[in-house]
Homo-oligomer: A and B are copies of this chain.
Amino acid sequence: MKFDIENYLSTKKLLVEQKLQSLLIPGEDSPTKLEESICYSVLAGGKRLRPILMLASTEAVGGDICKALPVACALEMIHTYSLIHDDLPSMDDDDLRRGVPTNHTVYGEATAILAGDSLLTDAFYVIANEGNSCGIPPGLITEIISDISAASGSRGMIKGQAIDLELQGKNKVTIDQVEAMHSLKTGALIETAVLSGAKIGGANRGQLSKLQTYANAVGLAFQIIDDVLDIEGGGEIGKSPGADARNGKSTYPEVAGLEQAKLKAAELTEQAVNVLQDFGDNALPLKEIALYLGARNH
**A-to-B contact residues, CB < 8 Å:** 32-35, 38, 85, 88, 90-91, 108-111, 113-114, 116-118, 120-122, 124-125, 127-129, 131-132, 137-139, 141-143, 145-146, 149-150, 152-155, 158-159, 161-162, 165-166
List, in ascending order, chain B residues with CB within 8 A of A165's CB. Answer: 110-111
Cα distance, A34 to B139, chains bound together (Å): 31
List, in ascending order, chain B residues with CB within 8 A of A150's CB. Answer: 125
What is the total number of copies of this protein in its complex?
2
B145, A124: Cβ atoms closer than 8 Å: yes
List, in ascending order, chain B residues with CB within 8 A of A109's CB. Answer: 90
A149, B132: Cβ atoms closer than 8 Å: no
List, in ascending order, chain B residues with CB within 8 A of A143's CB. Answer: 128
Main SS class of interface, A: helix
List, in ascending order, chain B residues with CB within 8 A of A110's CB. Answer: 88, 90-91, 165
A125, B146: Cβ atoms closer than 8 Å: yes
- Closest CB of chain B to A33's CB: distance in Å? 7
B149, A114: Cβ atoms closer than 8 Å: no
Instruction: Pick the contact of A142: B35, B90, B117, B142 (CB < 8 A).
Output: B142
Cα distance, A207 to B152, chains bound together (Å): 36
B125, A153: Cβ atoms closer than 8 Å: yes
A153, B118: Cβ atoms closer than 8 Å: yes
From known contacts A120-B121, A138-B142, infer whether A35 and B154 are also in contact, taking CB-CB under 8 Å. Answer: yes
Most chain B CB within 10 A, of A121, A125, A154, is at A121
Cα distance, A289 to B145, chains bound together (Å): 33
- Closest CB of chain B to A128's CB: distance in Å? 4
A121, B34: Cβ atoms closer than 8 Å: no
B90, A152: Cβ atoms closer than 8 Å: no
B142, A122: Cβ atoms closer than 8 Å: no
From known contacts A90-B113, A113-B90, infer whether A121 and B38 are also in contact, taking CB-CB under 8 Å. Answer: no
Cα distance, A128 to B137, chains bound together (Å): 14
- Closest CB of chain B to A38's CB: distance in Å? 7
List, in ascending order, chain B residues with CB within 8 A of A33's CB. Answer: 162, 166
List, in ascending order, chain B residues with CB within 8 A of A131's CB. Answer: 142
A158, B128: Cβ atoms closer than 8 Å: no
Cα distance, A141 to B131, chains bound together (Å): 13
